[in-house]
Amino acid sequence: MSDSQWTKQGGTFSHKNACKEFGLTEDEIIDAMKAGKLQYRQNYAHGNPYFRVLRKEVEAFAKELHGNKAVEEQEIKFKLKKINREINSLKRKLSCLEKQKVELLEIQKHIKA
């Protein structure tokens, strides 16, 4: 595989994120790396090692292990989880902003009075 896949944004991710996104176990990914089915590069984050793997290869590997339907279902679950996380984050931000608005309106009332 050419270096373009390694430098392309979104072309790689950590082996832990691959587990989450495609419903694979860490052992399955490491076994595939040892067998030469997945290319990987070792990186470090804050002194902790992790493996970067190619998204396309992990997707093909997951389809090989679990089939297309299971991978599609897992992809939908992952996207829904991501969307729900974002919705909850926005709800928290909205709640905080509404509290600030009420406080400012109270201050404004006291200034006018």
pLDDT at 70: 92
Mean pLDDT, rounded, for 17-37: 94
- For the domain bounded by 1-66, which CATH number is listed? 1.10.1660.10
pLDDT at 59: 94
pLDDT at 94: 98
Q: Is the pLDDT of residue 17 over 90?
A: yes
* Residue spans per domain, the chain: 1-66, 68-113
pLDDT at 67: 93
pLDDT digits (tens, 9 = 90+) for 50-108: 999 999 999 999 999 999 999 999 999 999 999 999 999 999 999 999 999 999 999 99
Q: Is the pLDDT of residue 3 over 90?
A: no
Going by pLDDT thresholds of 50, 70 and 90, the confidence category of residue 2 is: low
CA-wise closest residue to 15 among 49, 66, 47: 49
Distance of alpha carbon 39 from alpha carbon 42, whole angstroms:
10
For β-strands 40-45 and 12-14, DSSP reports them as unpaired
Residue 43 and residue 52 in contact, taking contact as beta carbons nearer than 8 Å:
yes
Q: Is the pLDDT of residue 4 over 80?
A: yes
